[in-house]
Structure 1
Amino acid sequence: MESSGRNGVSGVLFSLSLLCVILDLQLDGVLGATPVEIEQHLEMGRKLLAAGQLAEALSHYHSAVEGDSKNYLTYYKRAAVLLAMGKSKSALPDLTKAIQLKPDFLAARLQRGNILLKQGSTQEAMEDFEAVLQRSPEQEEAQDQLTRTIELEELWEEAHAAHHRGDYSSTITVLERVIEISPWDPASRELRADCFIRLGDPQKAIQDLTPATRLRNDNRAAFLKLSLLHYSLGEHRESLNHIRECLRLDQDDKECFGHYKQVKKLSKQLDVAEELIQSERYQEAIDKYGSVMKTEPQIQYYTNLAKARICFCLVKIKEAHEAIDVCSEAHQRDPRNAQILRDRAEAFILNQDYDKAVEDYQEAREFDADSIEIREGLDRAQKLLKLSRKRDYYKILGVNRSANKQEIIKAYRKLAQQWHPDNFQAEADKKEAEKRFIDIASAKEVLTDPEMRQKFDAGEDPLDPENQQGGGQGGHAWPFHFNPFESGGNFHFKFQYN
């Protein structure tokens, strides 16, 4: 029995050993490659590289490296493709591997030194250039690059000294040369961005920080700065995009998460406020923009925007006096904003201050000469001003331009009773009353007729004979062609209240 057991164990062990051998052979068939196959991959890689088909060439070089991981040339050639694709970070490990396999491979050392110099790694770059010159003292490119490396170190010292003493303009000037030598160094761009921020030029700081985010594997600090800069400029959507990138790198980053919550809240409020305006829910939009100012009271852009949009909404709901106050404050905050001037002009029209409306529209046109809306608004305001110097039907009845038909009829009844000629005895008073009564009746006729009122609101007097075609025909010019008080003493007025 014992012998039988030992034989069984031996059989199992033999079977396992045989299985391992088979698996090894299968793996060799999958992972390994013959010299001929490797050469074919290298040749195809070369042809595809020459044809500019970089991705396809890279695939063949991957296969060549997997087939022979001890061949320094395959690593070097793959690095060349990666560099042609603009992937210098990925090329560095291949160049390093090629140098490890062949320490005297000067072409790889020179190429690696060039990449390290562009990345701003001066010490490592210097070692590569010196290694090349040690074996080949007359190598011109290595000599030139070593000189540039030494210059770069000196420039960095000069830039840091200027920055330390607060001379940010000089720092920027020095860093221009630094970036020319090492364009892939994020530190130089970040320092120059800091100088731009201190000099009050956030847009240029953004131009430096944007590429800096791609030059480090984990550049949360740059993403946070970018987000803060966009936020300060009122570009809340861009700010939100950048702060999300920071959180993708580390969702637990406290600074990024804190700023993310603020930007997200404000961005949502702004979007909702504009949606409310688009839906013509102006009072709700006013309330939402009030929330915007509470959410972000520190950055002037958002308060300015909120005031401007509230000004617009107040005009839409015809709150003339409040609109004028808010629009005036918004104009003080942003004097060159043509839209604010347009809205205040409309508020002045609502308040029947036509001369001020004309002034605002004229000023708005200076800032936006191509706006058809402003040009048409100015034309309308000028017509209303001209008309107001003749007679204003709203003023005659003592009602606002936003008055509805019921309010107009009520005002008409009151004034008609007050100025009815039968209420006066003296001839002079009676004639004055007749004149006033005709004006009151004219005002009621125009303002209770939608078509005539629309013409009047556009700056045209529909009862002015100059505006009547066909000698005043059309049924609306009777006050100028018929005076009931001149038809005899037996005429009596009958009030029409509908």
Structure 2
Amino acid sequence: MTMEVPGRSRGLSCLLSYVSLLCVVLDLHFDGLFAASQAEIEQHLEMGKKLLAAGQLAEALSHYHSAVEGDPKNYLTYYKRAAVYLAMGKSRSALPDLSKAIELKPDFLVARLQRGNILLKHGNALEARADFEFVLQADPGHEEARGQLAKVHELEQHLQEAHVYYNRHNYLETIELLTRVIELSPWDPESRELRADCYLQIGDYSKAIQDLKPTTKLRNDNRAAFLKLSNLYYTTGEQEESLNQVRECLKLDQDDKECFAHYKQVKKLAKQLEAAEEYIKQQQYDDAIERYEASMKTEPSIAVYTSRAKEKICYCLSKGKKAKEAIDFCTEALQEDPRNIFILRDRAEAYILEDEFEKAVEDYQGARELDGENHEIKEGLERAQKLLKQSKKRDYYKILGIKRNANKQEIIRAYRKLAQQWHPDNFQSEAEKKEAEKKFIDIAAAKEVLTDPEMRQKFDAGEDPLDPENQQGGGHPHQWPFEFNPFGSGNFHFKFNFN
């Protein structure tokens, strides 16, 4: 028999009363917290709705994040956040939220239909089919679900046929089928990659690039696509864009060995070509040639870079007045690239420097046949034809026995030598004097034209500034007769009067 101790009984009774009171207080406290939390969630949802309507998507997403954290069991909150992701174009981020909403409420048909549409666009036919079929089981008359299910069947059929044709190496038929697939599943990277491969097989690099570009965003950490794009741009001669793409690969992983090795190659070539172009702008043609020769050593296996370098070297030799070297080099370059109008143009200019006007006309005519709309080629042909016509009359360069690229000192030196040789006072008989007088006039005229920048420019363009046929309005200010002293001293005085 147990005896009750009066003091202990009273103490236990007090303790129980205290605990009961504490529980009531705590219940009231947590009820208040819960109520405050629900109010905050509703506020986040309302703000998210308003910001979404205003197009402030990032701010709306932030509020929906807070709402999901506050109430992780609310299927509508996940669905609304998924809507924001879709508005931002982030369909992959929307899928987990839609799936969570469906998990919390399996009969949420709107979410299932939305998820099925996204899965179809990503090319996931199997899972898309399951969503559309679920909707139709719950609502057999649902027209959108029925139509989307038909698209799933079409997608599966086209994909199956595309792979059959691809394995048979029938790339054109495969491209046609994959085009229909991509219309149904525009976010499917595999179909685009396969179509890109088909374009590569038929040599259409530009369309292969168009297909590969979106895959860099359709796959996470798609370094392989960036590297492939870089290689394609490099192969087609777009080294700067190639450099941009391989840099994107290295942003994802700076230690990627394949991307880094390719980056070094492209950067070296791009730097050489950029330097060469800069030297051309500065008219430092020898330095430009050196860089182009270096670029051919850096990349000897891709024809587009070799052809471009040779085209530019031809240009530099011609512009640098190295006529014979230019003719030889340009002729060799044309054997590899006979339809290059710029090489034809530059060889024509080199022929002009060598006074081979018929060949210059022939080159310009060949270039114009290839590109009849090119204004520079048209002007060059007209000038070459004028020079050819002019050469059959009076050629001041030939008279002085100098090259077309002779400078002023060389012109004056040649003039003085010939003027001294053919001065009429040096001859005795009347016939010799008349012959010398004729030559002397031509020599003086040559010096007159070629030492005057404006007149020389006209002559180089195919117009003789001393030819009466080319003069208008009362004659040229330098027209004969005139009195001159060929040596600039008092040794010779000879007055010409042809009246």
Q: With structure 1 as the length reference, what TM-score do the two structures score?
A: 0.82
Per-residue Cα deviation, 1:247-285 (whole angstroms, up to 9, x for no partner): 222222222222111111111111111111112211100
Higher mean C-alpha displacement, 181-190 vs 328-337? 328-337
Is residue 2:331 matched to residue 1:344?
Answer: no
**Matched letter for residue 233 of structure 1:** T
1:35 match: 38
Q: Closer, same or farther in 2 for the Cα pair 1:33/1:102, shift >3 Å?
A: farther
Distance (Å, rounded) in 2 between the aligned partners of 1:169 and 1:449:
65
Per-residue Cα deviation, 1:434-464 (whole angstroms, up to 9, x for no partner): 4334333432343344444333223332333
Q: 2:265 aligns with which of 256, 259, 262?
A: 262
1:64 match: 67
Give 1:473 deviation, angstroms: 6.4
Q: 2:400 aligns with which of 385, 397, 400?
A: 397
Q: Which runs of 5+ in 1 are unaligned?
A: 1-24, 485-491
Distance (Å, rounded) in 1 between the aligned partners of 2:263 and 2:159:
34
Higher mean C-alpha displacement, 243-252 vs 365-374? 365-374
Q: 2:243 aligns with which of 232, 240, 244?
A: 240
Give 1:494 deviation, angstroms: 6.6
Give 1:144 deviation, angstroms: 3.4
Higher mean C-alpha displacement, 169-178 vs 361-370? 361-370
Higher mean C-alpha displacement, 241-250 vs 128-137? 128-137
**Matched letter for residue 296 of structure 1:** E
Q: Closer, same or farther in 2 for the Cα pair 1:217/1:409, shift >3 Å?
A: same
User: Paired residues, what number?
Assistant: 460
Distance (Å, rounded) in 2 between the aligned partners of 1:387 and 1:99:
89
Is residue 2:252 matched to residue 1:249?
Answer: yes
Distance (Å, rounded) in 1 between the aligned partners of 2:478 and 2:187:
81
2:275 match: 272
Q: Closer, same or farther in 2 for the Cα pair 1:117/1:420, shift >3 Å?
A: same
Higher mean C-alpha displacement, 356-365 vs 248-257? 356-365
Is residue 2:103 matched to residue 1:100?
Answer: yes
Per-residue Cα deviation, 1:50-77 (whole angstroms, up to 9, x for no partner): 4544444333322221221111111011
CA contact (8 A) 1:348 1:354 kept: yes
Q: Which runs of 5+ in 2 are unaligned?
A: 1-28, 495-499
**Matched letter for residue 287 of structure 2:** E
Is residue 2:222 matched to residue 1:219?
Answer: yes
2:112 match: 109
CA contact (8 A) 2:466 2:478 kept: no
Is residue 2:307 matched to residue 1:304?
Answer: yes
Is residue 2:320 matched to residue 1:317?
Answer: yes
CA contact (8 A) 1:95 1:108 kept: yes
CA contact (8 A) 1:117 1:149 kept: yes
Distance (Å, rounded) in 1 between the aligned partners of 2:61 and 2:260:
39
1:81 match: 84
- Superposition CA RMSD, Å: 3.2
Is residue 2:184 matched to residue 1:190?
Answer: no
Per-residue Cα deviation, 1:70-102 (whole angstroms, up to 9, x for no partner): 111110111122212221011011011112222
TM alignment of 1:71-470, pairs within 5 A: 71-365=74-368, 373-416=376-419, 419=422, 431-467=434-470
Higher mean C-alpha displacement, 453-462 vs 173-182? 453-462
**Matched letter for residue 352 of structure 2:** I
Distance (Å, rounded) in 1 between the aligned partners of 2:151 and 2:416:
93
Q: With structure 2 as the length reference, what TM-score do the two structures score?
A: 0.82
Higher mean C-alpha displacement, 439-448 vs 204-213? 439-448
CA contact (8 A) 1:307 1:329 kept: no
Give 1:146 deviation, angstroms: 3.2
Q: Closer, same or farther in 2 for the Cα pair 1:33/1:129, shift >3 Å?
A: farther
Give 1:349 deviation, angstroms: 1.8
Helix, strand or coil: the match of 1:237? helix
Distance (Å, rounded) in 2 between the aligned partners of 1:407 and 1:43:
88
Distance (Å, rounded) in 2 between the aligned partners of 1:216 and 1:473:
75
Q: Closer, same or farther in 2 for the Cα pair 1:134/1:475, shift >3 Å?
A: closer
CA contact (8 A) 1:33 1:67 kept: no
**Matched letter for residue 280 of structure 1:** Q
CA contact (8 A) 2:465 2:476 kept: no
Per-residue Cα deviation, 1:414-449 (whole angstroms, up to 9, x for no partner): 545555667777765664444334333432343344
**Matched letter for residue 90 of structure 1:** S
Distance (Å, rounded) in 1 between the aligned partners of 2:240 and 2:476:
59
Distance (Å, rounded) in 2 between the aligned partners of 1:218 and 1:423:
90
Q: Closer, same or farther in 2 for the Cα pair 1:184/1:470, shift >3 Å?
A: closer
Give 1:330 deviation, angstroms: 4.1
Distance (Å, rounded) in 2 between the aligned partners of 1:129 and 1:470:
89
Distance (Å, rounded) in 1 between the aligned partners of 2:476 and 2:203:
67
Give 1:305 deviation, angstroms: 1.4
% identity of equivalent residues: 70
